[in-house]
């Protein structure tokens, strides 16, 4: 897949290739591309798994969000009440009816031996699915 292609390609169901089940929960997410000062915007969380999430927004982000972009997401689920600060990458994006779009984000896997100064909640997010 090239950087300008959107996902899912016609005829394919991307949900069948996931390693973890999805939780039946919703919430809101604020998306920011790493290195940028201003957030791209916020969207409704419509799909979550241990490895990522999908945001549905009321604006067209296709001019700002590219496949492979490193992003930060502040995700506030309906429960628990505390937000998650997540780091990942855009693995797909697509326009949705009207001026909306949907963005799929794969989280960076937590590393037990991670000695960088990376501060995120990716490990706690993953624990929601493994508990």
pLDDT digits (tens, 9 = 90+) for 83-117: 999 999 999 999 888 788 999 999 998 775 555 55
68 CB neighbour count, 10 Å cutoff: 9
What is residue 26's predicted lDDT score, i.e. its pLDDT?
77
pLDDT class of 120 with cuts at 50, 70, 90: confident
**Average pLDDT in the 57-70 region?**
88
Q: CB neighbours of 77 closer than 8 A, spacing ≥ 6? A: 25, 26, 27, 45, 48, 84
Q: 14-108 is classed in which CATH architecture?
A: Beta Barrel (2.40)
- Of 25-29, 48-52, 86-90, 114-118, which range is least confident? 114-118
Dihedrals φ, ψ of 116, to 5°? -75, 175
**Average pLDDT in the 1-21 region?**
44
d(CA 125, CA 131): 11
Q: pTM to 2 decimals?
A: 0.76
Distance between start and end Cα atoms, the chain = 34
* Domain ranges within the chain, ordered by starting residue: 14-108
Dump pLDDT digits (tens) for 70-83: 999 999 988 767 89
């Amino acid at each position: 897949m090239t950087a300008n292609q959107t996902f899912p390609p016609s005829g394919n169901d991307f949900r069948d290739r996931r390693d973890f089940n999805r939780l039946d929960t919703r919430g809101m997410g604020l998306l920011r591309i790493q290195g940028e000062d201003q957030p791209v915007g916020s969207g409704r969380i419509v799909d979550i798994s241990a490895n990522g999430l999908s945001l549905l927004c009321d604006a067209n982000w296709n001019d700002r969000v590219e496949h492979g972009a490193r992003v930060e997401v502040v995700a506030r689920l309906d429960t628990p009440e505390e937000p998650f600060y997540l780091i990942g990458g855009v693995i797909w994006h697509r326009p949705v009816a009207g001026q909306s779009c949907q963005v799929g984000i794969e989280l960076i896997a937590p590393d037990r031996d991670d000695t960088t100064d990376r501060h995120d909640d990716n490990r706690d997010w993953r624990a929601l699915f493994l508990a």
